[in-house]
């Protein structure tokens, strides 16, 4: 069971320039938006990165990232000096829910880096992760699992935190789950 009081959400490089080239990108955006809104409901911090934003643009508008909230990077892993500093400021949060693109590059390198950090664990939110090609996505998910990452979908994760209809956040999470999904669906 994921404890929201020990968890941080990582959103990796979900930028507008990737929209036309990432497999099922609309589904990734929908699921990442749901994860971000769920994090807000539970009071979990959210860390957002942008890969080379001066060239690749900003985070997609659908994620409603405030000006200056995203951390610019040029390395592939999200574990930049600034992200490491943010993690150090919340030592009780050793579990990371990770989503973003591309699965086989930035996302995978972030997973592998986090797993090497003492005490950290990762859940890869598979319906909010993709690559340009399905094969790259599939192999990346398997690689992350082989190295110790757990796998989950955004709904299974958020409803797992709620546990039942009597939870204070049930209605908010249920409302998020009822939002229409894009026609294109990701599969494992």
Known catalytic residue at 106: yes
Distance (Å, whole) CA 39 – CA 133 = 28
Which tokens hold the place of 188? 């494992």
Catalytic-labelled residue, pool 12, 37, 73, 127: 73
Known catalytic residue at 73: yes
Known catalytic residue at 85: no
The H or E element containing residue 27 is helix 25-42
**Per residue of the chain (188 residues), what is the pLDDT tens digit?**
899 999 999 999 999 999 999 999 999 999 999 999 999 999 999 999 999 999 999 999 999 999 899 999 999 999 999 999 999 999 999 999 999 999 999 999 999 999 999 999 999 999 999 999 999 999 999 999 999 999 999 999 999 999 999 999 999 999 999 998 887 778 87
Catalytic-labelled residue, pool 13, 36, 99, 127: 13
Residue 49: strand, helix, or coil: strand
Catalytic-labelled residue, pool 12, 24, 99, 106: 106
Beta-strand ranges (E) seen in the chain are: 7-12, 46-51, 71-73, 95-101, 121-130, 150-152
Enter the pTM of the model: 0.97
């Amino acid at each position: 069971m994921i404890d929201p009081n020990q968890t941080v959400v990582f959103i990796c490089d979900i930028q507008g320039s990737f929209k036309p080239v990432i497999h099922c990108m609309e589904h990734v955006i929908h699921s990442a938006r749901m994860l971000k809104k769920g994090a807000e409901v539970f009071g979990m911090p959210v860390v957002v990165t942008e890969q080379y934003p001066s060239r690749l643009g900003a985070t997609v508008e659908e994620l409603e990232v405030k000006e200056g909230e995203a951390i610019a990077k040029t390395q592939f892993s999200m574990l930049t000096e600034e992200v490491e500093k943010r993690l150090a400021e919340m030592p009780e949060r050793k579990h990371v829910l990770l989503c973003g693109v591309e699965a086989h590059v930035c996302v995978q390198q972030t997973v592998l880096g986090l797993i090497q950090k003492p005490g950290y664990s990762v859940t890869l939110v598979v319906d909010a992760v993709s690559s340009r090609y399905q094969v790259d996505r599939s192999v990346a998910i398997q690689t992350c699992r082989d190295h110790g990452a757990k796998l989950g979908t955004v709904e299974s994760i958020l409803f797992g935190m709620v546990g039942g209809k009597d939870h204070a956040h049930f209605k908010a999470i249920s409302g998020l789950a009822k939002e229409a999904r894009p026609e294109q669906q990701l599969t494992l």
